[in-house]
Every structure is written in structure tokens, then in C-alpha cells.
Structure 1
Amino acid sequence: MLNVIKRSWSPGVAGNPSRLRRKIELCNQVGLFGAIATTPYQLFYFFYDFALYRGVFLFNLLFMTVYLVVLLLNHWRWHRAARNVLLVNVCSQLFVVTFFISAGAGVHLFYFTIASILVFLFKRLRVTTYVPMMVLLGVLYLSAHFLFSPGSVPAPVPSPWIDIMYAGSVTGALALLGVFLYLFRKQIDQAEDELTRTNQHLETLSNTDPLTGLANRRVLDETLAQEWARLARWPGALCVIMCDVDHFKLFNDHYGHDGGDRCLREITAALQGVLSRPSDLLVRYGGEEFAVVLPGTDQAGSRYIGEKLRQAVEGLNIPNEKSVTAACVTISVGVSGIDHFSPDLNRHGVDHLLKRADQALYQAKAGGRNRMVFLPYLGASTLVEQ
């Protein structure tokens, strides 16, 4: 049922930006509700004394037709014309109907409803335009209220119907205003949800390597900074591993970029298979380089993980005919870490940990590739190689 109602005010909405869609929907809603709100009055005029109320009845038929034309104009994508026709029609109807049946029926109270939603009908409404329009609505309301007293109109509504009609006008004006604002609130919520999803998607794109689906260098830097700050509060262990695919340029030149991409994805899966903890972070550092952050892992554990990573890639047995060191694709691994954080380490910072892992990687490559080298966080002479 709700979907049917929504479809009734959907003409001209599809294919437009979200901001314009809201304006078109609101315009259609006002048109539909204007026609619907007029119907009870028409029934009264027709059944109570059609001869007396023929004039207002016929005028209302014209106004109701124009309300439906508004939807047709939006369907033809004449959105500005639809909005302008709507505003002229509703302001004219309220004034004309009040002229016929008097201000005692309260029909002119609907000017407040229009004034409350006027700004939402425009894409960009300047103050120099908005203020005169509000003044015009106020003038129309006051004119209708003071000029058309029950004793000075062609077809006054007798008591107690005048009181019932006034109560209905008050209820209708408030109800329509409430419905419009509720629907607009729903549209705002929907727009905010879309914006949130878009921001999350953009954040994911900015933090994710598109080829492998791994986190990127930006995430690595943020994670290292967070882990270093955590260690400053709760001293513990931390290690970083750098991996580089051996002779990957030769592999890429021989097997093509598609083959190189498939190779990197297979290596990614192998590396992920070694890491089991949610806190472990695997990053595509750039090109054929990968980095791993292992919070809470001491030096012995980091050397073990580093060697497991090397073995996992070698175990893939991906042929590499152009390699000068092995018949299959391999990686070189550089590892660095600290077992216990101490305040004096802050003078070097977390960047030094990454630098030491990179130095270890360089030594692994210089030492023949397809091997793991460990360098502690401090000291340039200590070397552990496998």
C-alpha cells in the first residue's frame, strides 16, 4: 500500500539528482494533497445546497484539475513550470474559496501550510525572493481574513457547519503540514544514509588496494602510529615485516601484466593464510612489496612468522622462467621488532621500526633473495638470517 502511495507522487522523479528529486516529490505531494483536501468541501457543496455553492464548486473543480496538471508537468520534466503553477493555483484557490464561503470556514489557514514548506519547493531560494513571497502569503491571509466576513460573501456556510468546516480546516492544515514535514524528514534521513554509505565507500576505496583488496600504505601509517601510541601507554612487543617478490619485473615482462596481477593475488592469499589473528595487518606497500604489522609479537615470533610467509609463497610453486635464483616465484623477507617498549625508544619513533624492516629486506635481497633477515629495532650490527 505504501509503495502504491509513493508511486502516486513519483512522476518526473526518476533520473534526477537527489536534491531535485526531493523538490519534485514535494511538488507532486502538494498537488495530490491539494486535490484530496478539496474533496470533502466539494461533497458538502454538492449535497448540502448545490445551487447556492455552484460557483465555488465549479472553481474547485478547476483548481483540482490544475493540481493534477502539476503532476503531468513534472512527468514532462517541466519542473519549474510545475512548481510555479502549483503555487499560483493553491494561493488562488484559498483566496477564491474564502471569497465565496467566508473566512469563518478557515480555508485560508492553509496559507500557513504553504508558507511552512515554501522553501523546500525551490532548489535555491534567495532571501530577496523568499522574503517577498512570505510577505505575499501573509498579505493574502490577512486580506482573506478581514475582507471576507460571513455577512459579506456570496455563499456563506450556516452554523453549525461553519464551525465544523473551520475545525476541519484547522485539522487539515496541521495534518498536511505534519505529513509534509514527516515525508521531508524521511527524505533527509534517506539522503543522510546515502551520504554515509558513500563516505564509507570512499573511505574504503582510499584505504584499500584495488588489485589485492588489502589495506594500503595509508592504513599502514595510521596503524603503526596507533600501535606506537598504545605501546607508550601499555609497554609490550611489536614487529614489522617487509616482503618483496623476487625478480617480479622479469616475471611481469615475461608473463604480461595480467599474469603479474594473478601472481600478486595468489601471493596475497598465501600471506593471508599465514596470519591468523584479527589484529595482524597485511598491507600492499607498493608494487610487488607487502608489509605486515604484528602487534604483541616478540622478536622470536616475528622471525617465525617471517619465515612462514617466505615458505608459503615458495610453496605456491608459481613458475618463473626468468628468475635467476629460483625456478618459481619467491619472496625476500625483512623483519624488525621490539620485545619491550621503553621511553627512550620514542626518540627514534615508529618510522625507525619500518626503516629497520626495510633495511633487513635489503640485506635479504643482497644476500641472494628467497630468504628472511631480522634486524632488531636498535643497533645496526645484529643480523639474523635464514
Structure 2
Amino acid sequence: MLNWVKRLWSPGVAGNPARLRRKIELCNQVGLFGAIATIPYQLFYFFYDFALYRGVFLFNLLFMAAYLSVLLLNHRGWHKAARNVLLVNVCSQLFIVTSFIGSGAGVHLFYFTFASIVVFVFQCLSALRYAFIMVTLGVLYLSAHFLFAPGSVPAPVPSPWIDVMYAGSVAGVLALLGVFLYLFRKQIDEAEDELTRTNQYLETLSNTDPLTGLANRRVLDETLEQEWARLARWPGALSVIMCDVDHFKLFNDRYGHDGGDRCLQQITAALQGVLSRPADLLVRYGGEEFAVVLPGTDEAGSRYIGEKLRQAVERLNIPNEKSVTAACVTISVGVSGIDHFSPDANRHGVDHLLKRADQALYQAKASGRNQVVFLPYLGASVRAGQQ
């Protein structure tokens, strides 16, 4: 039902930024509800004594047309004109109608409804302009209240209808405020949902490699810090694997960058197929390098996983005519791990674990590629590099 009603105030909304869309919607809502709220008064004027209330009845027809023109102006994209027409129309209608039937009918109470939402109707409303509008609304209300007593107007509403109309005006003011506040709440909820989705998308974008869909180095650093902190609290093991595609530059030269991208995507799928635990993290470290974090995995387990990764890529049988060591694409694998947390580990930190895996990778490449080399977390230093 609400979706059907929302279509009534949708003119001019599509194609605009979210902030402006909400203001256009509110402007249309005020215009639509302003026309609707006038109808009960028009029915009274028409059926009770049309000859007496002819003037106010005809004026209200003009005001209702002006309210509906707000939707037309927004539909044409004239949003500033729509807001100005709405402001002038509300201020004029309440003052002129009160001048016909008297302040006892309570029509001028609708100034409070408009004053409570006017700041949301205008975009980039300055404090000075907002204060001017509020003062104007206050002056119009006080003028209508004190100048147009029932005995000094051309078409006063007789008793007991004056009390009925006043009660109706109060009910109308409260009802419109309730409706607008409900719609504000809906808009706020929608804006918060949109913001949450945007933040989630941006977070995913900042943490994801666009080519492979894997986590990126930022996620690797965060995960290693978390796992290192966990290791410091509870005894356990932690291993890291570094993989590098052998002769990938030669592959790119032969098959082009598109071929290289497809190759990396196929390797990604093969590596993912080896890792079965949710806690294991596969990361595109950069270029043709991949990294794997294996929480709770000791030396034997990490060696086993490293060999499985190497075999998985080799089984792809991706031709690499330029390779000098194999006829197909292969990877070299460096593995490092720590089985228990010690004072030395606390001194070197988690970066040393990644460095040792990188040193192991260098040894694997220097020893002929397409093999797995393991280096423990603590041991003799090896010059790190890439070939």
C-alpha cells in the first residue's frame, strides 16, 4: 500500500542524488497533503452556505491548484521554483482563509506543522534564511490569531460548527505532523540502509583484489596481526606460505596481459580448491605472488599444504612455451611456521614470519623452481629476493 502511495509523490525524484531526492519527495508530500487537507473545509463551505463562503471556496481552489502545481514543477525539474511556490502558497492560504472565517476555526494552526518541516524542504538552507522564514511564519500566525477574531471577518463560522472546525484543525495539524514524522523515519531508515550498503561495498572494494576476487595485502596484514595476538594468548602453531608463478613475465610476453590475467584466475581457482578450512586465508600478495595464512598448522601440515598447492597448479597444464624449466605454468612455494610462542618470537614479531616465508620462496626459485622449501620462523638469515 505504501509503495502505491509513494508513487503519488514521486514526480521529479528519479535521477537525482539521494539527498535531493528526499527533499523533492518531502516537497511533493507537503503539496499533496496540503491539497488533501483543504478538501474537508471545502465540503463544509459548499454544503453549509455556499453563497456566504463563495470567496474562501474560490480562493481555496486556487490554493489547491498551486499545491498540485508543486508536483508538476518538480516533475519538470524546477525544484527551486517548486519549493518557493510551496512556501508562498502555505503562508498565503492560511492567512487569507483565516481572514475570511476567523481565527476561531484554527486554520492558522497549520503554521506550526509547516514550521516544523520547512528546514527539511529546502536544500542548503542558510541559518539566516531559516531564521527569516521562521520569524515570518511566527508573525503571520500571531497576526492571523489577533487580527481576525470571529466578529471581525466577512464569513465567520457559526457555533457549534466553529468548535467542530477548530477540533478538526487541531486533529489535522497532529495528523499531518504524525504522517510527516513517520515518513521522515522511513527516509532515515532508507538512508541508513543505503549508507550501510555503501560502506560494506567500499570495505569489500578496499579489501579485495579486483582480478582474482581474493583478499588483498591489507587483509593479509590485519589477519597476521590478529593471529599473532591469538598465538601470544593461547599456545598453538601458525604458518605462512608464499607462492610465486614461475617465469610469469615470459608468459605475459608470449600470451599478452589478457592471457596473463586468465592464467592468474585459473591459478586462483586451483589454490582455492586446496584450502578447505574457513580459517585459512588465500591472498593475492601482488602481481603473480600469492600468500596463504594457515592458523593452527605446524611444519608437517604446512609442508603438506604447500605441496598440494604446487601440484594443483601443475595439474592445470597451462602451456608456457617461454618457460625454461617446464612446458606448463608452475609455481614455487616458500613455507615458514612457528610452533610455539617464545620471547624471541615476541621480539621479532609477525613480520619476521612473512619474511622467512619469502626467504624460503627465494630458495625454491634459486634451486630450480616448481618446488616447496620450508624455513622455520627462527634460523639463519637468507637473502630475500625475487627472480
Query: Structure 2-normalised TM-score?
Result: 0.97
- Once the 2 structures are TM-superposed, how far is the Cα of residue 178 of structure 1 from its aligned partner? 1.4
1:375 aligned counterpart, secondary structure: strand
Aligned to 2:234: 234
Separation (CA, whole Å) in 2 of partners of 1:259 and 1:301: 33
Separation (CA, whole Å) in 2 of partners of 1:78 and 1:327: 67
Report matched runs for 1:203-242 at 5 Å.
Answer: 203-242=203-242
Aligned to 2:385: none
1:291 aligned counterpart, secondary structure: strand
Aligned to 2:190: 190
Aligned to 1:19: 19
For residues 39-73 of structure 1, what are the alpha-carbon distances to aligned partners after superposition, in whole Å with 9 as ceiling and x for unaligned?
Answer: 00000000001111111111101111111111111
Aligned to 1:378: 378
* 8 Å Cα contact 1:232-1:343 kept in structure 2: no
Report matched runs for 1:349-368 at 5 Å.
Answer: 349-368=349-368
Report matched runs for 1:170-185 at 5 Å.
Answer: 170-185=170-185
For residues 332-359 of structure 1, what are the alpha-carbon distances to aligned partners after superposition, in whole Å with 9 as ceiling and x for unaligned?
Answer: 0000001112243110000000000000
Aligned to 1:152: 152
AA matched with 2:214: L
Report matched runs for 1:68-107 at 5 Å.
Answer: 68-107=68-107
Aligned to 1:253: 253
Report matched runs for 1:328-347 at 5 Å.
Answer: 328-347=328-347
* 8 Å Cα contact 1:332-1:369 kept in structure 2: yes
1:306 aligned counterpart, secondary structure: helix
Aligned to 2:280: 280
1:258 aligned counterpart, secondary structure: helix
- Once the 2 structures are TM-superposed, how far is the Cα of residue 162 of structure 1 from its aligned partner? 0.9
Separation (CA, whole Å) in 2 of partners of 1:273 and 1:115: 63
Separation (CA, whole Å) in 2 of partners of 1:52 and 1:343: 97
Separation (CA, whole Å) in 2 of partners of 1:302 and 1:65: 77
Aligned to 1:309: 309
Separation (CA, whole Å) in 2 of partners of 1:126 and 1:185: 24
2:142 aligned counterpart, secondary structure: helix
Aligned to 1:49: 49
Separation (CA, whole Å) in 2 of partners of 1:45 and 1:102: 14
AA matched with 1:210: P
AA matched with 1:176: L
Separation (CA, whole Å) in 2 of partners of 1:71 and 1:319: 64
**In the alignment, structure 1 residue 319 sits paired with structure 2 residue 308:** no
- Once the 2 structures are TM-superposed, how far is the Cα of residue 198 of structure 1 from its aligned partner? 1.0
1:277 aligned counterpart, secondary structure: coil
- Once the 2 structures are TM-superposed, how far is the Cα of residue 380 of structure 1 from its aligned partner? 1.5
Which moved further from structure 2: 174-183 or 45-54? 174-183
Separation (CA, whole Å) in 2 of partners of 1:164 and 1:237: 80
Query: How many pairs are equivalent?
Result: 382
- Once the 2 structures are TM-superposed, how far is the Cα of residue 182 of structure 1 from its aligned partner? 1.4
Aligned to 2:129: 129
* 8 Å Cα contact 1:13-1:24 kept in structure 2: yes
Separation (CA, whole Å) in 2 of partners of 1:301 and 1:265: 26
* Shift >3 Å, 4+ stretches: none
- Once the 2 structures are TM-superposed, how far is the Cα of residue 199 of structure 1 from its aligned partner? 1.1
1:218 aligned counterpart, secondary structure: helix
Separation (CA, whole Å) in 1 of partners of 2:165 and 2:342: 82
- Once the 2 structures are TM-superposed, how far is the Cα of residue 189 of structure 1 from its aligned partner? 1.4
For residues 288-344 of structure 1, what are the alpha-carbon distances to aligned partners after superposition, in whole Å with 9 as ceiling and x for unaligned?
Answer: 000000000011111111111111111111111111001111100000001112243
Aligned to 1:142: 142
Aligned to 1:61: 61
1:333 aligned counterpart, secondary structure: strand
2:244 aligned counterpart, secondary structure: strand
- Once the 2 structures are TM-superposed, how far is the Cα of residue 160 of structure 1 from its aligned partner? 1.3
AA matched with 2:304: Y
* 8 Å Cα contact 1:246-1:329 kept in structure 2: yes
Separation (CA, whole Å) in 2 of partners of 1:311 and 1:72: 68
Which moved further from structure 2: 335-344 or 139-148? 335-344
* 8 Å Cα contact 1:310-1:331 kept in structure 2: yes
- Once the 2 structures are TM-superposed, how far is the Cα of residue 381 of structure 1 from its aligned partner? 7.2
For residues 90-134 of structure 1, what are the alpha-carbon distances to aligned partners after superposition, in whole Å with 9 as ceiling and x for unaligned?
Answer: 111001111111111110000000100010011111111111110
* 8 Å Cα contact 1:212-1:268 kept in structure 2: yes
Aligned to 1:28: 28
For residues 229-278 of structure 1, what are the alpha-carbon distances to aligned partners after superposition, in whole Å with 9 as ceiling and x for unaligned?
Answer: 11111121000000000001111110111111111111111111110000
AA matched with 2:280: D
2:252 aligned counterpart, secondary structure: helix
Query: Structure 1-normalised TM-score?
Result: 0.97
- Once the 2 structures are TM-superposed, how far is the Cα of residue 4 of structure 1 from its aligned partner? 2.6
Separation (CA, whole Å) in 2 of partners of 1:342 and 1:381: 18
- Once the 2 structures are TM-superposed, how far is the Cα of residue 2 of structure 1 from its aligned partner? 2.6
Separation (CA, whole Å) in 2 of partners of 1:307 and 1:299: 12
> How much identity, in percent, do the aligned residues show?
88
